[in-house]
Chains A and B, each alone.
Chain A
Amino acid sequence: MTSPTAQRAKPLYLLAAFGSGCLLTCAVFFNGEAGRFGGAMFSSWQAHGVGTVVAALLLAFIWRRERKAAAEARETYGKPPLWAYLAGILGGITVILTSWSVNSPLALAGTLALGLAGQFTLSLIADYWGLLGLPKRRLDMRDTASFVLIAAGSLLIILFGVGSA
């Protein structure tokens, strides 16, 4: 299997990722409201159910294009390993751990801050070794500086900016 090479983020990627982060804020807000009405299990269940239906409808709409793209991808990277289908289970576990953690003395801010620490740690490890068949990428000085700035800004917002006022 060949690995693609990762590159510095172009403006298109920056906009896409930033926009996707905004999307996540909205999704978390909606799912939080679903949880407020029906509990954490229901919230996660409905989000995955609606997501499955929406993804299936979208796929049906553009199936010709998707099938062609998937065939080409398989040609280049081979059959996906079986474990690659199992990420959904981790999403389910995440929901349960989150509802425990948010209701512990850590509350939302502590959960978010430690969650960010976990995300940063594993991202660094994943890029360094190219975990699970994805590209390796070593950080240079610029990457390190942007890492420190974004991590500091995020923690400042979580711990002192929102929620605690």
Chain B
Amino acid sequence: MIGPVIFAFVIGLLIILSRQINGRLSLSTTPLISSFWNHLVGLIFITLLGLAIGDLIPPNLAEIPLWVYLGGALGVFFVASGSWLITRIGAVNTTLLLISGQMVSGVVLDFARGVPITLWACVLGIVLIFAGMALTQRKG
């Protein structure tokens, strides 16, 4: 159990580290150029890994609906906005606000898709998040 716990924690560290590094690249270039390099280098890395261990191209490729490929396009904007934000409002604020958006929209998406949710916990969680977001704003 300690193995997965460490992995899961490290995932969080890697997310922040990669945003920090992309942010540094964007300082000397632009957020969009930085996002391009992030995706290209990631693509090369995963291609090499896939060639080594397989599983890159599934046998049911033709059956996969085209709309699932939208995720990659959205990722470009997500990475670029992360670089843009972190160089302006810092790592903590960027992380807090991105996670706020992710949590609230996640609840809305589950609710819209009819996935069962525990209403009191979701509502209370969203109220706490909105209160925290309000506090990040300048006074007055």
Contact = CB atoms under 8 A, between A and B. Distances in A.
B27 A4 contact: yes
Contacts of B22: 84, 87
Interface in A68-123: 69-70, 73-74, 77-81, 83-98, 100-101, 104-106, 110-111, 113-123
B89 A6 contact: yes
A128 to B, nearest CB: 9
Interface residues of A, number: 121
A81 B24 contact: yes
Contacts, number: 459
Contacts of A14: 97, 133, 136-137
A157 B98 contact: no
Contacts of A64: none
Contact of B21 (A13, A97, A132, A160): A132
Contact of B90 (A6, A23, A157): A6
B4 A101 contact: yes
B88 A127 contact: no
